[in-house]
Structure 1
């Protein structure tokens, strides 16, 4: 019985250790509709090391935040009722292991459908998962994106 417990314990330890080196690749975007200004505001959160590795730029260089903004602009598209929207970047910040990017699109009076193409870090990390949470006039919707599912659409 002691030998069985010993072997079970060792196998459990090895199983737990195998998870220690597994990185979790994800981004999270929050979308808020501001009724007064008819604006969709986006806040995207990414891991600093992951975006730094994907862009092949040191996160401590002066141009890091500008490169991150450009990258997000090239990898995130928004369509309201099948009409493409222009994204305006309003800011970004690096806070330790997190990069925050803020952008918006205006002139959005009503939304019947919202389609998003989100390819953030999908080419760099095969297991990357991108989540988008949308708050629109009291309704909450969630989209997820991964390789093979880069475009998602919700209706309101």
Structure 2
């Protein structure tokens, strides 16, 4: 009896341990940076590599490999870019172009940029990456370089958020 108990306990501990290490974050952090040196808006999206691994298998199939495949990395970058948008309050889109992607440690980064429009009083932003897969996904954006840092949080059913900029 004790031997069976020990084997059962060991099996349960292994299952619990693997569940802890396999836990997805389901959060992403992005920065929208107004860079005065380049006069560009630079967008940097940071996803947990673990979340990205799970996501690409759901989106692109079980053989998708975000760590070992440049094709999968490009596909994920394109996926993120299609689900992030900025516009002016009047609805005028602010198109972004890809500025690359990379794996850094435990994170997958996606970069975008555009020239800063003249007379920008506000930004309306949509960030739905991974939210189509996981309703609990939370995407946070920090807007920097135009006054105080402003933070937007996309969670639950929120699809559009706006930041206003003060004039000096």
Q: CA deviation at 1:22?
A: 5.3
TM alignment of 1:16-35, pairs within 5 A: 20=20, 23-35=24-36
What is the aligned length?
Answer: 139
Q: Secondary structure at the match of 1:85?
A: coil
TM alignment of 1:75-154, pairs within 5 A: 75-81=83-89, 82-154=91-163
RMSD: 2.0
Q: Which runs of 5+ in 1 are unaligned?
A: 1-16
Larger proportion of strand: 1
Q: Residues of 2 paired with 1:29 and 1:126: CA distance?
A: 18
Q: Deviations over 1:17-43 (max 9, x none)?
A: 8x9475431000011112344311011
The answer as to whether partners of 2:27 and 2:139 remain within 8 angstroms in 1 is yes
Q: What stretches of structure 1 move > 6 A for 4+ residues in a row?
A: none
Q: Which runs of 5+ in 2 are unaligned?
A: 1-15, 58-63
Q: Deviations over 1:101-148 (max 9, x none)?
A: 111111422321111110011111221100000013332110000230
TM-score, normalised by the number of residues in structure 2: 0.74
Which residue number corresponds to residue 44 of structure 1? 45
Q: Residues of 1 paired with 2:105 and 2:116: CA distance?
A: 34
